[in-house]
Amino acid sequence: MTIHWFPGHMAKAHRMIREQLKLVDVVIELLDARIPISSANPVIEEIIGDKPHVVALNKADLAEAAATASWLAAFRAKGRPVVVLETISGKGSKELAAKAYDAASEKIARLAAKGIKARPVRAMILGIPNVGKSSLINRLLGTATVRTGDKPGVTRGQQWIKIGKNLELLDTPGVLWPKLEDQEAAFKLAVTGAISDEAVELEKVIMKLLALLAQHYSARLNERYRLTEPLADEMEELLSLIGERRGCKRSGGVIDLEKAGRIVLSEFRDGKLGRFTLDIPPETKLEQDN
């Protein structure tokens, strides 16, 4: 499985960010808590330079709690302000706004010392597609005025959004890596939905996911799909069993493997198979239930 994906609007987004960076006081980088390394764009580090930088680990309610705690410690050890966000409850969004303001407070104080009238802190939110930027902004606003979606690339343009009296946000399009040379990272981006399903060999992504689940999380598969030990060694056979349990049959009783695979992928992404962290923090072992 080889994944190559860097559509033209991503290159345009990089140029746009470079142009607009001078307008903001602080950068908020939104990462997927399940894949903090794979969802971090190394180009962003290069672009923002010394600009104050806050990290937000989003979708923490889909990630393993112990792993997220380890990632928090790792970021803090590097001196990086970091906040954990939950997708469903919105927990952590107010803390993020406060951290963004604090990160830029030194600049605001310098402006005040020069006699410049106080103004809201201006922040830019950056992140890969489908990481939850628009949903976060809606949480901060307390209303659904920003268009959201569950497919990569919903936010295409830029817009300033005022959050209370002290913070203004510049929303930007999702920015993926310019080169997906690390195929393990590419798989993690694909399986979590950062890369559009139409842009990858989805069958191979699903089979790799199924192999990962069978190896490390067999008890979860057994419980969710009412399977019995031992699991099949061949992933196609295992997927066929899952399809049979879920009634994925075509005319003539043939198991619809594509439909069964999409069910597994969807339930993995929605957290119905449990919480997962695919990027393992330093000195942390992958949770296994075998």
* pLDDT value of residue 168: 87
Q: Please tell me whether residues 125 and 166 are part of one structural domain.
A: yes
Domain assignment present for 15: yes
CATH, residue 51: 3.40.50.300
User: 24: closest CA among 48, 58, 42, 56?
Assistant: 48
Higher pLDDT, 162 or 33: 33
Q: Please tell me whether residues 159 and 207 are part of one structural domain.
A: no
Higher pLDDT, 164 or 280: 280
Q: Does 68 score more than 50 pLDDT?
A: yes
Q: Does 233 score more than 90 pLDDT?
A: no
What residues contact 61, with CB distance under 8 A and at least 6 apart?
Answer: 86, 87, 88, 89, 271, 275
Mean pLDDT of 181-195: 88
Higher pLDDT, 106 or 28: 28
Domain assignment present for 279: no
Assign 3-state DSSP to the chain and report helix, strand, coil percentages, each to 5. 45, 10, 45
CATH, residue 226: 1.10.1580.10
Domain assignment present for 23: yes
Q: Please tell me whether residues 70 and 134 are part of one structural domain.
A: yes
- 111-140: pLDDT as tens digits: 777 877 777 888 988 888 888 888 888 888
Mean pLDDT of 188-217: 92
Q: Please tell me whether residues 216 and 138 are part of one structural domain.
A: no
Indicate left, alpha or beta for 197 from its phi (over 0: left) and psi (-120 to 50: alpha). Answer: alpha
Determine if the peptide bond prior to 230 is cis (ω within 30°). yes
Q: Does 153 score more than 60 pLDDT?
A: no
Q: Please tell me whether residues 46 and 149 are part of one structural domain.
A: yes
Structural domain count of the chain: 2
Q: Please tell me whether residues 155 and 31 are part of one structural domain.
A: yes
Domain containing 226 equals 201-269
Q: Please tell me whether residues 120 and 223 are part of one structural domain.
A: no
Domain assignment present for 193: no
Rounded CA separation 33/85 (Å): 9
Domain assignment present for 184: no
Q: Please tell me whether residues 147 and 252 are part of one structural domain.
A: no
Q: Does 7 score more than 90 pLDDT?
A: no
* pLDDT value of residue 269: 95
Q: Please tell me whether residues 114 and 253 are part of one structural domain.
A: no
Candidate from 54-58, 59-63, 139-143, 205-209 with smallest mean pLDDT: 139-143
Q: Please tell me whether residues 139 and 248 are part of one structural domain.
A: no
Q: What is the mean pLDDT of the chain?
A: 83
Mean pLDDT of 154-167: 70
Q: Please tell me whether residues 41 and 162 are part of one structural domain.
A: yes
What residues contact 59, with CB distance under 8 A and at least 6 apart?
Answer: 32, 33, 34, 85, 86, 87, 131, 132
Which of the four pLDDT bands, split at 50, 70 and 90, describes residue 154?
very low
- Report the side by side order of strands in the sheet with 82-84: 82-84, 53-58, 26-32, 121-127, 167-171, 159-163
Domain boundary among 171, 192, 217: 171
Domain assignment present for 256: yes
Q: Please tell me whether residues 251 and 213 are part of one structural domain.
A: yes
User: 243: closest CA among 215, 220, 264?
Assistant: 264
